[in-house]
Amino acid sequence: MSPVQAGSVLLLLLCAQSLGAPPSFSVDYKNDCFRKDGKQFRYISGSIHYSRIPRVYWKDRLLKMYMAGLNAIQTYIPWNYHEESPGQYNFSGDRDVEYFLQLAQDIGLLVILRPGPYICAEWDMGGLPAWLLNKKDIVLRSSDPDYIAAVDTWMGKLLPMMKPYLYQNGGPIITVQVENEYGSYFACDYNYMRHLTKLFRSHLGEEVALFTTDGAGLNYLKCGSIQGLYATVDFGPGSNVTAAFDAQRHAERQGPLVNSEFYTGWLDHWGSPHSVVSSAIVAKTLNEMLALGANVNMYMFIGGTNFGYWNGANSPYSPQPTSYDYNSPLTEAGDLTEKYFVIREVIKMYRKIPEGPIPPTTPKYAYGAVTMKKLQTLSDALDELSFSGPVKSLYPQTFTDLKQAFGYVLYRTKLPVNCSTPTPLSSPLNGVHDRAYVSVDGVAAGILERDKVITINVTGNAGSQLDLVVENLGRINYGKYINDFKGLVSNLTLGKDTLNSWTMYSLSIDEAVDQGLLWETKPGPTGPPQPAALSPPTFYGGSFVIPDGIPDLPQDTYIKLPKWRKGQVWINGFNLGRYWPTRGPQVTLFVPASILSTATPNNVTVLELEGAPCSPAPCTVEFTATPILNATVQSDYKQHRRIFSRVDLL
């Protein structure tokens, strides 16, 4: 069925409803099912996060989900994506969640809404805005009055906006989740969950089906489920389905069986192998659940991309990469996979699958190599980058103190003593959050890294300029360490001395790149020679034109940075995310065609943090048609397996 046809069928349905009883959706406890417009109903759903997909592709991805046989989708609403500073809301462009909901409805998909306030999701700070940390000792996800006040204000904005989209009000939203896996959090604050229940009810009304989701174990359900919210569970392929639903039955003696997150794949971390989950095991467990009459949401059906700085991290500190491909049935770029068709075959046994063509995989184009030119070092470009000017203080301040949420901050001081022999520069309390690119008088001296490298040696005379460009690599999104302050969060020592008298530059790199400021200036002086292994953070620029005479360009592509080390990349001012091929597993970054221009040359800006491969030969970046997400170079495999494995969630 075409989207237009789907739309008109839906219109007919809506008309039919308007003649009879109003639309209704509820939990039918007596018959262990959901009930929609009076009839028994079961959903087969897939997760899609609009915040990880460019708006122009929402329709394509939703149609592919519809054509797979799904009758519903599930999405999170990341609070920090919509309220980047207190009271400043953004619901436009890629953040237009209402348009997303409308599209889902037009295509014929119901919606399971997960508005948080906490969402986990491998998203920065689990979706909570970093400005909540303005109160230094705030207890997030609890009855802390400052936290509650912020939640009340946000939900007071969001939920009234969602209300018209509830099923009973003529919209697609059938159920609404409150919080997320709260039973996995240490606080176990029932008053908080009661407060949220009342808050959601007061904005959405008495009729809507509210639910919770927790790991399928009694220990999770203990603090996660609460009177008045329907308790559901999550578990992955290979689980004992009977045992998992027994856990749900412990919390809900009656009502529909629901797996709210059935894992089709799994997340990645920098430095760990790419997660791969076989289609066969996904199909087997999906079939078992559907055979029991259970409701299932597949997490993820399409993972998408952590553009910009939106990735989260796990603890002990391990950040997630830019790609959120998740080894899902639809790839990061929305491509159809074998897993997609295997899942479709399983669904076919339980539900009539829509007829008609499945939207094809969008074509990719290899634009080839682009020569990159050195622009300026980050410290040469401070006039263009530091919009608000420096802040001085005796001891270092955090990103939060400096009112910067994401990206990079330059911390500058002087060596207080002569360091003619290698002298340890150290963060004794492991307070470099998360990576510091260190230089002395403009010469790269080493890299400090949270949980990994807390000391390096430096040399230099008293009075030499010591620079640390500190990168926020993504806030912890899971567990008890989500109050994740960034920057230098404790003092640094040099030998026996505590360093002081800092000058800190908040850096508006995205704005500067977007406004073309870095391109307009001439490269600075050549600067001091660098050790072979390392250079201070430096910008590079290059451009390419979309070739003439080839039909249907521009098309999607992937950017690859062979022999580059680590950094951030923008195209035409759009922040594609981080690259780190020296660690892996991700090597290519997804470049949606929507950010490319046929009218003027396309501008590629790279901030290379460790050293670009630009001498003696000129350096290039490369646009290819094939993604590479599975090339792990430096492996932390054991560590991650121990800390955060699928077994944790069974």
As given in the structure block, the two tokens for residue 253 are: 């003696």
Of the candidates 83, 122, 181, 610, the residue annotated as catalytic is 181
Q: CA–CA separation, 71 vs 427, rounded Å?
A: 52
Question: What Rg, from alpha-carbon coordinates, does the chain have?
Answer: 25
Stretch that binds ligand NAG, among 107-115, 217-225, 292-300, 451-459 (CB under 6 A): 451-459
| Shortest Cβ 506–ligand NAG spacing (Å) | 17
| Shortest Cβ 9–ligand NAG spacing (Å) | 32
Q: State which residue, 188 or 462, has the beta carbon closest to ligand NAG.
A: 462
SS (H, E, C) 76-107: ECCHHHHEEECCEECCCHHHCHHHHHHHHHHH
Q: State which residue, 13 or 291, has the beta carbon closest to ligand NAG.
A: 291
Give the count of beta carbons closer than 10 Å to the beta carbon of residue 20.
9
491 is a contact residue toward ligand NAG (CB under 6 A): yes
Q: State which residue, 87 or 616, has the beta carbon closest to ligand NAG.
A: 87
589 is a contact residue toward ligand NAG (CB under 6 A): no
Q: State which residue, 320 or 603, has the beta carbon closest to ligand NAG.
A: 603
Q: CA–CA separation, 583 vs 631, rounded Å?
A: 8
Q: Which one of 191, 371, 457, 515 is in contact with ligand NAG (CB under 6 A)?
A: 457
Using CB under 6 A, count the residues that bind ligand NAG: 32
* CA-to-CA separations, 522 to 375, 377, 450, 528, in angstroms, rounded: 7, 11, 35, 17
| Shortest Cβ 602–ligand NAG spacing (Å) | 5
Q: State which residue, 363 or 601, has the beta carbon closest to ligand NAG.
A: 601
Q: Which one of 90, 202, 254, 594 is in contact with ligand NAG (CB under 6 A)?
A: 90
Binding positions for ligand NAG, 345-384, rule CB under 6 A? none
498 is a contact residue toward ligand NAG (CB under 6 A): yes
Q: Which one of 281, 349, 366, 462 is in contact with ligand NAG (CB under 6 A)?
A: 462
Q: CA–CA separation, 604 vs 621, rounded Å?
A: 9
| Shortest Cβ 420–ligand NAG spacing (Å) | 7
**Residue type for 64, please?**
K
- Each residue 541-570 as x (binds ligand NAG by CB under 6 A) or -, in order, gives ------------------------------
Stretch that binds ligand NAG, among 90-98, 220-228, 330-338, 365-373 (CB under 6 A): 90-98
Of the candidates 83, 261, 384, 471, the residue annotated as catalytic is 261
Q: State which residue, 197 or 322, has the beta carbon closest to ligand NAG.
A: 322
Active site residue 83: no
Q: Which letter, b or e, does each residue of 503-524 get, where b requires 16 or more Cβ atoms within 10 Å of its Cβ? A: bbbbbbbbebbeeebbbeeeee
Say if residue 462 is exposed, middle or buried (CB neighbours under 10 Å; 0-12, 13-18, 19+): exposed
Those residues whose C-beta lies under 8 Å from the C-beta of residue 584, and which sit 6 or more positions away, are 270, 271, 630, 631, 632, 633, 634
311 is a contact residue toward ligand NAG (CB under 6 A): no
Q: CA–CA separation, 236 vs 298, rounded Å?
A: 9
As given in the structure block, the two tokens for residue 193 are: 């969950």
As given in the structure block, the two tokens for residue 233 are: 């569970």
Question: Residue holding tokens 């990349």?
Answer: 569
Binding positions for ligand NAG, 217-246, rule CB under 6 A? 240, 242-243, 246
Q: CA–CA separation, 195 vs 206, rounded Å?
A: 15
Question: Residue holding tokens 């350096």?
Answer: 619
497 is a contact residue toward ligand NAG (CB under 6 A): no
531 is a contact residue toward ligand NAG (CB under 6 A): no
Q: Which one of 455, 501, 521, 645 is in contact with ligand NAG (CB under 6 A)?
A: 455
Q: Which one of 65, 162, 438, 456 is in contact with ligand NAG (CB under 6 A)?
A: 456
93 is a contact residue toward ligand NAG (CB under 6 A): yes
86 is a contact residue toward ligand NAG (CB under 6 A): no
Binding positions for ligand NAG, 386-415, rule CB under 6 A? 395-396
515 is a contact residue toward ligand NAG (CB under 6 A): no
**Residue type for 480, please?**
K
516 is a contact residue toward ligand NAG (CB under 6 A): yes
Strand order in the sheet with 619-624: 574-579, 567-571, 602-608, 538-544, 368-377, 619-624, 557-560, 588-591
As given in the structure block, the two tokens for residue 9 are: 């069928």
| Shortest Cβ 248–ligand NAG spacing (Å) | 13
Q: State which residue, 143 or 287, has the beta carbon closest to ligand NAG.
A: 287
519 is a contact residue toward ligand NAG (CB under 6 A): yes
Beta-carbon-side half-sphere exposure of residue 199 (alpha carbons within 13 Å): 24
Stretch that binds ligand NAG, among 85-93, 98-106, 575-583, 636-644 (CB under 6 A): 85-93
Torsion of CA 245, 251, 254, 256, to 10 degrees: -50
Say if residue 59 is exposed, middle or buried (CB neighbours under 10 Å; 0-12, 13-18, 19+): middle
Binding positions for ligand NAG, 11-50, rule CB under 6 A? none
Those residues whose C-beta lies under 8 Å from the C-beta of residue 148, and which sit 6 or more positions away, are 192, 195
| Shortest Cβ 585–ligand NAG spacing (Å) | 8
| Shortest Cβ 502–ligand NAG spacing (Å) | 10
| Shortest Cβ 431–ligand NAG spacing (Å) | 7
Q: State which residue, 55 or 351, has the beta carbon closest to ligand NAG.
A: 55
Q: What does the angle CA 637 – CA 332 – CA 600 come to, to the nearest 5 degrees? A: 125
Stretch that binds ligand NAG, among 100-108, 164-172, 310-318, 601-609 (CB under 6 A): 601-609
Q: State which residue, 298 or 419, has the beta carbon closest to ligand NAG.
A: 419
Q: State which residue, 143 or 493, has the beta carbon closest to ligand NAG.
A: 493
* Cβ–Cβ < 8 Å for 119, 50: no
* Cβ–Cβ < 8 Å for 300, 46: yes
Active site residue 622: no
Nearest to 539 by CA among 386, 410, 369, 385: 385
Q: State which residue, 33 or 458, has the beta carbon closest to ligand NAG.
A: 458
H-assigned helices in 252-321: 279-291
Q: Which one of 315, 459, 493, 572 is in contact with ligand NAG (CB under 6 A)?
A: 572
Q: Which one of 630, 635, 643, 650 is in contact with ligand NAG (CB under 6 A)?
A: 630
As given in the structure block, the two tokens for residue 369 are: 């190599």
Interface positions with ligand NAG (CB under 6 A)? 90, 92-95, 240, 242-243, 246, 395-396, 417-418, 422, 424, 455-457, 461-462, 490-491, 498, 516, 519, 572, 597, 600-603, 630
Residues annotated as part of the active site:
181, 261
